[in-house]
Amino acid sequence: NPFDTTKIRQDFPILKREVRPGVKLVYLDSAATSQKPIQVIDAIDSFYKLTNANIHRGIHVLAEEATELYESARQKIANFIGAQSSRQVIYTRNTTESINLVASSWGRKNLVAGDVVILTEMEHHSNLVPWQILQEDIGIRLEFIPVSDDGQLDIEKYHQLLDLKPKMVAFMHVSNVLGTINPAKEIVKAAKSVGAVTLIDGAQSVPHIPVKINEIGADFLAFSGHKMCGPTGIGILYGREELLEAMPPYMGGGDMIKRVYLRSFKSNELPYKFEAGTPAIAEAIGLGVAVDYLERIGMQNISHYEREIIEYATDRLVEVSGVKLLGPLNKERGAVASFDLFNVHPHDVSQVLDMDGIAVRAGHHCAMPLHDRFQLTATTRASFYIYNTIEEVDLLVDSLHKVKKLFG
Ligand code: 7TS
């Protein structure tokens, strides 16, 4: 078995710490951000100690080495997601910035009043608000694929919405609340058949399951480094080359230009056209090392392991009376479990769990409309990654019984 959790855990220094004297950390909040392996921490440390220089500018050894590290990380990321060319891989700060780039640059160029953009009821705010801004500014029309009671997209309704001839279909691949894995390939194929452009929010899929953009066929893919063992401050926008070529720059400044005159400029070529200013160099290099790390374990192995954990976790959680678990049951799903515990406020639930060193998230998880859909204001969410264990699921369940005793 290539999957050795004990060995993997040794790579994550933070997992050795106690959160309080005698209380070990049980980190179940990886959907918010993952922990970082020593390989990534060391790469960033060594960049600053040995190589630090600005990229693409200086003709000196450090500048050349820094540029080479930065660009080879881009190539690794391109390979990781099955992109044809690293020209299609744009460094951003995070998923949020990647989606805003598309909405703003592609959207303002290609959409006019009345044009339909299809989203889903389960979106994270970062794939809602950028389109709502265009709704206000341009007058585009937003339509939503509904979510069923067991947390799945109503694909039949989606096919009906396609009759409206949408210009864009933008959807999350894996839900950060429900764990639902949406049928990306099928959604993209149907969108294409009516000529719509497609964007996938891969924030919760790229870190957890194999995502090959050449197989899925979407036009844009957005994801964040910090949820996949990489540093904060670095994210990716993948785009189809013809679309990126035709899009105007998102931000203006250094690096994104080929030539500047007093009253005009010529844009640089891809991907630099969309990378204005000094980028997050150490972070990009760190993300490249995170990709190496995940590939060494194998994305297929990661997704199998997480499936074991989430199956066990959902089985154990539904046994706790009073727990109402959101999302598809007895189905393939991502490694997140959001639940209500007979109306005890999720902040109280997570506070009691925190006494046992268990870190979970309480709130709306940046998906308020989805919570409205389930008539909840907040949920408690446990989310899992490669370093979590079956024993940690048991600790979570034990601790939930304590919550019930306290509030029940
Ligand atoms: N899309 C999805 C599906 C997400 O889960 C998140 C972050 C984002 C987009 C935004 O990513 P960012 O890196 O730009 O912030 N989700 C969460 C979460 O569930 N809890 O904290 C952040």
Confidence class for position 1, pLDDT limits 50, 70, 90: low
Separation between Cα atoms, residue 221 and residue 233, nearest integer Å:
17
Of ligand 1's listed atoms, the one at least distance from the Cα of 177 is 19
DSSP string of 16-53, one letter each residue: G-EEETTEE-EE-BTTT-----HHHHHHHHHIIIII--
Residue 330 confidence (pLDDT): 74
Ligand 1: distance of its center to the CA of 345 in Å? 22
Which atom of ligand 1 lies nearest, measured to the CA of 95? 14
Q: Nearest Cα to 30, choosing from 226, 285, 297?
A: 226
- Mean predicted confidence (pLDDT) in 104-128: 98
Atom of ligand 1 nearest to the CA of 126: 9
Give the residue ranges of DSSP H helices in 83-240: 95-101, 108-110, 129-138, 155-161, 184-193, 213-216
**How many angstroms separate the Cα of 225 from the Cα of each of 164, 202, 235, 285, 315?**
35, 11, 5, 11, 31
Q: Do 176 and 336 meet the contact criterion of CB atoms below 8 Å apart?
A: yes
Ligand 1 binding pocket (C-beta < 6 A) is 31-32, 94-96, 124, 126, 172, 176, 201, 203-204, 224, 361, 365-366
pLDDT band at 366 (very low <50, low <70, confident <90, very high): very high
C-alpha 88 to ligand 1 mean position (Å): 22
Is the pLDDT score of 125 beyond 60? yes
Select from 365, 350, 366, 357 the least CA-distant residue to 400.
350
Q: Which atom of ligand 1 is nearest to the CA of 29?
A: 20
Query: Which residue matches tokens 């090392």?
Result: 289
Mutate to test the pocket of ligand 1, among 28, 91, 94, 95 (most ligand atoms within 8 A of CB): 95
Residue 131 tokens, joined: 């389109």
Distance CA 102, CA 221 (A): 10
Residue nearest (by alpha carbon) to ligand 1 atom 22: 32
pTM of the model: 0.98
Average pLDDT score over the chain? 97
Is it true that the peptide bond before 21 is cis, omega within 30 degrees of 0?
no
Catalytic residue chosen out of the listed positions 366, 368, 395, 397: 366
- In whole angstroms, give the CA distance from residue 50 to residue 62: 8
Tell me, in angstroms, the distance from the centre of ligand 1 to residue 80's CA.
20
Are the C-beta atoms of 155 and 131 separated by less than 8 Å? no
Task: Supply angle C-alpha 39, 43, 47, rounded to 5.
Answer: 170
User: Inter-axis angle of helices 281-297 and 61-80, to 10 degrees?
Assistant: 40
Could you identify the atom of ligand 1 that is nearest to the CA of residue 367?
Answer: 19
Which of 87, 97, 75 has its CA nearest to residue 268? 87
Mean pLDDT for the stretch of residues 6-35? 97
> Do residues 276 and 255 lie in contact, with contact meaning Cβ atoms separated by under 8 Å?
yes
List the residue whose alpha carbon is closest to atom 7 of ligand 1: 32
pLDDT band at 2 (very low <50, low <70, confident <90, very high): low
Residue 234, exposed/middle/buried by CB under 10 A (0-12, 13-18, 19+)?
buried
Predicted pLDDT of residue 165: 98
Q: How far is CA 43 from CA 28, 47, 50, 287, in A?
A: 25, 6, 10, 10
Q: Please tell me the distance from the alpha carbon of residue 281 to that of residue 115, in angstroms, as a whole number.
A: 38
Read off the tokens for 189: 């194929």
Is the predicted pLDDT of residue 150 greater than 90, yes or no? yes
pLDDT at 50 over 60: yes
Q: Alpha-carbon distance 392 to 309, whole Å?
A: 10
Amino acid at 162: L
What are the tens digits of pLDDT across the range 305-362? 999 999 999 999 999 999 999 999 877 899 999 999 988 999 999 999 999 999 999 9
Distance 94 CA to ligand 1 centre (A): 9
CA nearest to 337, candidates 392, 294, 291: 392
CA 50 / ligand 1 centre spacing (Å): 33
**CA 78, CA 81: separation in Å to the nearest integer?**
6
* Position 47, amino acid: F
- pLDDT > 70: what percent of the chain? 100
- Model pLDDT for residues 158-207, shown as the tens digit of each residue: 999 999 999 999 999 999 999 999 999 999 999 999 999 999 999 999 99
Q: Which of 126, 129, 206, 350 to mutate for ligand 1's pocket (most ligand atoms within 8 Å of CB)?
A: 126
Is 229 an annotated catalytic residue? no
The DSSP call for residue 375 is: T
**SS3 state at 137:** helix
Relative orientation angle of helices 390-407 and 299-319, to the nearest 10 degrees:
30
The first and second tokens of residue 169, run together, are 């279909």
* Strand 168-172 to 235-239 pairing: unpaired
